[in-house]
Amino acid sequence: MADLPLALSQGDPAGIGPEIALKAWSRRRETGLPPFVYLGDPRILKARAAMLGMDVPVAVSAPEAAVDAFGSALPVFAIDAATPVSPGKPDPATSSGTIAAIETGVKLTMRGKTAALVTNPIAKSVLYSSGFRFPGHTEFLAELARRETGTEYRPVMMLACPALRVVPVTIHIPLADVPGALDQALIIDTIRITARDLARRFGIDAPRLAVAGLNPHAGEQGTIGREDEETVRPALEALRAEGIDVTGPLPADTMFHASARTRYDAAICMYHDQALIPVKTLGFEEGVNVTLGLPFVRTSPDHGTAFDIAERGVADPRSLEEALKLAARLARGSEDRG
């Protein structure tokens, strides 16, 4: 895969996706960025570059020619946005192009034309208004993989920065619903997928996983809630019996200081903020969203569309740059391990 470009989907074209793609390409030499092909409308990129005062050549390109083109121009696999785009003003009419870019990225990657997929941020509310029926990016990617292979996939979200990797067991649900959503099967399945992909994608042969309890002090032996004793602990005992190196349930408030982080390769958390607060505190500008459990590598910047700053030209490309670099490393790791 060393000679294949990455696929970068446009995300919502009214957001900062076009801007950070332009900035990342402009900084490609100083940051050591791997080659990528942008999946989106070249007219939008050219208009955004003009708005930002950036001299970025844009070259419509097939994936096969993108690596050679990357040194002198930003290669684009053209996908029509269907309507004019104004930065900061999302329009449901652009949804067809946003969705087509994701679909194209999956097809190119699964058919061996690109090494991995990196996705720029989407706005689900904009897509919902045009009939999009998936809870988010990740579930849509799993469905696209199913369409390609006929196999069902269970995607798992990991957030990674240089200091920490975290995996939430439950994600975008109200906090009040978390205890009812947690069960042993969900915890076991999430940790199995995490351990497997840390080995096959990240090259960690015997991953060490630290698991946070749901309750303060991990329930303190059942005196602060019974979930940790009755749900989390039995799940971890079953995983240890399979040979997975898992520790916990641990008090979440002592898991993320510098010394504690040296004792594990990833932290498993019971709910969204328990996982995302520490990783965004430690590496907000460098955070990367990685989807585990898919038959291809997918990463994404760890931020949203930022419509509020899309007209201002101040978007920071570092999270996208880290997502591109991590995708290239994971794709190489998968290739090395067959």
List, for residues 27-83, the tens digit of each pLDDT value.
999 999 999 999 999 999 999 999 999 999 999 999 999 999 999 999 999 999 888
Residue type, 11: G
Question: Among the residues of the chain, which ranges form H helices?
Answer: 17-26, 28-31, 42-52, 63-69, 95-110, 124-128, 137-149, 178-181, 184-200, 227, 233-241, 258-261, 272-283, 318-336
**What is the band of 335 on the pLDDT scale with cuts at 50, 70, 90?**
very low
- What is the distance in angstroms between the CA of the first residue and the CA of the last residue of the chain? 11
Q: Would you say residue 338 has pLDDT above 60?
A: no
| CA quadruple 240, 138, 326, 204: dihedral, nearest 10 | 10
Q: Can you tell me the mean pLDDT for 155-172?
A: 95
Q: Given 3-state DSSP classes, what are the helix, strand and coil percentages for the chain, each rounded to the nearest 5?
A: 45, 15, 35
Q: Would you say residue 337 has pLDDT above 50?
A: no
Helix (H) or strand (E) holding 122: none
Q: How far apart are CA 14 and CA 97, in angstroms?
A: 12
Q: Supply the pTM of this predicted model.
A: 0.93
Q: How far apart are CA 185 and CA 39, in angstroms?
A: 37
Query: Angle of helix 95-110 relative to helix 137-149, nearest 10 degrees?
Result: 50
List, for residues 275-329, the tens digit of each pLDDT value.
999 999 999 888 999 999 999 999 999 899 999 999 999 999 999 999 999 999 9
**Contact between 327 and 115 (Cβ < 8 Å):** yes
Residues 73-97 as b/e (b if ≥16 CB within 10 A, e otherwise) read: ebbbbebebbeebebbebbbebbbb
Helix (H) or strand (E) holding 202: none
Residue with token string 């199913």: 146
Confidence (pLDDT) at 148: 95
**What is the band of 2 on the pLDDT scale with cuts at 50, 70, 90?**
low
**What does the chain come to in residues?**
338
CA 253 to chain centre: 25
